[in-house]
Chains A and B, each alone.
Chain A
Amino acid sequence: MKALLVVTLLAGTAHARDWQGLLDRIQGGSTLHYELTGLSDIDDMATGPDQLVLAGARLHGFISTSRRWAFQGGIDLALGATIQRGGFAYDVALLPVGFVLRLGATSFVGVAGGIGALGATPTADDAMTLPLEAALELGSGVRVLGRARYSYLAFSGTGGASDAILEGMLGLRIGHHYEDFGFPSGNGYFVAASYREQAGERMVGLTIGYSIDLATPRHSRRDAE
């Protein structure tokens, strides 16, 4: 009985050491964007929205035991309106599956996929989407922000798969970089050019917003040991 107790305690200690080792190696980061996007069509078509304004937030994070690669996930929420037709518009997505390649203190390029929903009354039917997004954020205080997204319309109110939506954004943040408490971070306002192709209609516009980035210092497995 004593032997069993000793073995159990030792196993428990080893298990705790494994967990502590794992916790020591975990590193990651996150980004938060508040965005306001205004888009206007460049094709004179009756199908899609003429002008669209969306305001929302994007929260993404990544975590790993590697200093270079990490798993990532995120959530995007945006609400707005189709300006000239006075309709309600929304575009939300949950992107739980993805990975990033970390570059520098808080910079990264990455890809993520998931599920979403969007609609814009009265010009775009409510639809469930399967988005695949590539994103990059490079720099610290001054930071390049970019993303491109392909969203497959898995189901729409008209009853079937019909189309896809392409979106892109490329911008520049003028902000600050911090190293408070040993964590690299940054924040600031940004402006970006935006593109959206929906229901055969191309739209271009401007995104303005505020972004925050925060990460743990990158360290190799050897550093942690």
Chain B
Amino acid sequence: MRVALLVLGLGLAGCAIGKRSLAMPDNDQTTVALLTGTLGHPLDGIARHPWFAVRRAGEHEWHVYEVGGGGTEEDPFRHHSPYGNPMLHKVWRGAAGERAARCIESVAGGVRDRIDRDYIFYPGPNSNTFGDVVLRRCKLSASLPATSVGKDWRGIIGAGVTSERTGLQVETPLVGVKLGLKEGVEVHLMGLSIGVDVWPPAIILPLGPGRLGFADR
């Protein structure tokens, strides 16, 4: 029990080892980045919001795709008001970046319109549902953190391949489960995620960066 308390205590403190640098990559290649930031007080410890930042080779500004915003920005890695404490989850560069940029530009508008029409802050569909749907539609193999509440919203009942593309998930608004080679085991209770991530190893918690262990994939 002491070990369990220690582990969960560290988790509550929000420890994630090896977070990605927020330094922007050079513009010699087309780059797509997936980031999240915290909501305002007092939800900053338990809720994050995602955005995709897309910059074509040679461009200086980033095109931002998200729910409730969008447009062009100079540095959506470190400053994306009103969201705080940004975290970079994945970067696609070169040919992968080109493919990701084309797909996001093509599908993001439609997905956002649908989310806007049916938007419910909790449990979803919300901005995190947008992030997860775009990842899956574009087959981008990435995951949003556990504190992106709404990422697993699939309607009254839904099932399919995970956004990481190495697992399966079944979801209802009350309870859901995700199983995968990288994703490990993740249980969802009313939108809250708890589980064990296989790669990189971490305990998944609905608090802070969403995990205790190594930073996400």
Contacts and interface: CB of A to CB of B under 8 A. Distances in A.
A165 interface: no
Nearest to B40: A180
A55 B46 contact: no
A180 B4 CA distance: 36
Interface in A202-224: 206, 208-210, 212-214
A137 B40 CA distance: 22
A192 B4 CA distance: 16
Contacts of A189: 12-13
B167 interface: no
B147 to A, nearest CB: 11
A32 B192 CA distance: 12
Interface in B174-209: 189-190, 192, 194, 206-207
B40 A210 contact: no
B8 A187 contact: no
Contacts of A131: none
Interface residues of A, number: 27
A208 B5 contact: yes
Contacts of B189: 57, 77, 79
Given A77-B189, A185-B42, A38 B1 contact: yes
Interface residues of B, number: 20
B16 to A, nearest CB: 16
Interface string B20-41: 0000000000000000000011
A34 B207 contact: yes
Given A34-B46, A187-B45, A214-B42, A208 B12 contact: yes
Contacts of B1: 38, 40, 51, 53, 83
A213 B12 CA distance: 17
Nearest to A180: B41
Interface of A: 32, 34, 36, 38, 40, 51, 53, 55, 57, 77, 79, 83, 176, 178, 180-181, 185-187, 189, 206, 208-210, 212-214
Interface of B: 1, 4-5, 8-9, 12-13, 40-46, 189-190, 192, 194, 206-207
Task: In the A-B complex, list the 10 residue pairs whose CB atoms are closest, starting with the nearest.
Answer: A187-B42, A185-B42, A178-B41, A36-B8, A38-B1, A212-B42, A38-B5, A180-B41, A51-B1, A83-B1
